[in-house]
């Protein structure tokens, strides 16, 4: 399949499987606007290869749509590399070795999965940290878009995004996407200077 055709197919899958979904928070935008925005952020900073664009467009399909139950559909249509990227970015993909891995994480002092059978935040960050740079950059772009609308989130959601940005995603971004991560830093600074932040956390 040609480059433009694969990207077009990913756009169609994104629109189809996120159909009728809304973004979290008060803005209630159609959910598909988020993965499209993540893709566009990456392209704007020169990360415009097919693999990056396709994974960005599909990055929430396993986590948030019915593709969770038919994950093989992504591998069948887009190949193993794309499937692996989407799988890695999804916090509800714990894998078939979960029973064997759990004690290994316990030994490191990290809880592997939570009561909902999703990766804990610590385990998810470890997964991202040891993923390919392409995946790390997609996650940084994901955080850039998520932090551009912080005021639409709950207080706890905002606190989590601010903490995760400061302690993990900004340091990670400085290592693998130093120019792109400046947008994440700017988002955090701008929000902390906003009236919304002062009112909520004042």
Over residues 169-200, the pLDDT tens digits come to 999 999 999 999 999 999 999 999 999 999 99
Alpha helices in 45-180 (DSSP H): 50-58, 61-64, 72-78, 80-89, 98-107, 121-129, 133-146, 155-164, 170-176
198: its two tokens: 């002062």
The C-alpha atoms of residue 198 and residue 202 are separated, in whole angstroms, by 4
Q: What is the pLDDT of residue 92?
A: 93
The CATH H-level (homologous superfamily) assignment of domain 3-201 is Hypothetical protein af1432 (1.10.3210.10)
Residue 30, classed as helix, strand or coil, is strand
The pLDDT of residue 7 is 96
Residues contacting 113, CB < 8 A, separation 6+: 94, 98, 102, 119, 120, 123
């Amino acid at each position: 399949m040609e480059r433009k055709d694969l990207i077009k197919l990913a756009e169609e899958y994104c629109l189809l499987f996120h159909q009728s979904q809304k973004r979290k928070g008060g803005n209630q935008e159609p959910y598909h606007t988020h993965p499209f925005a993540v893709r566009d952020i990456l392209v704007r900073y020169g990360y415009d290869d097919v693999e990056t664009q396709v994974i960005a467009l599909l990055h929430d399909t396993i986590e948030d749509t019915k593709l969770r139950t038919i994950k093989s559909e992504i591998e069948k249509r887009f190949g193993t590399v794309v499937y692996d990227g989407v799988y890695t970015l999804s916090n509800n993909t714990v894998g078939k070795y979960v029973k064997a891995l759990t004690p290994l994480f316990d030994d490191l002092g990290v809880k592997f999965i939570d009561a909902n059978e999703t990766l804990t935040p610590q385990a998810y960050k470890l997964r991202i940290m040891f993923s390919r740079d392409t995946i790390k950059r997609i996650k940084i772009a994901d955080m850039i878009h998520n932090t551009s609308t912080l005021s639409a989130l709950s207080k706890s959601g905002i606190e989590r995004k601010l903490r995760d940005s400061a302690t993990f995603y900004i340091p990670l971004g400085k290592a693998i996407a130093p120019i792109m991560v400046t947008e994440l830093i700017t988002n955090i600074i701008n929000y902390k200077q906003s009236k919304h932040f002062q009112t909520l956390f004042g």
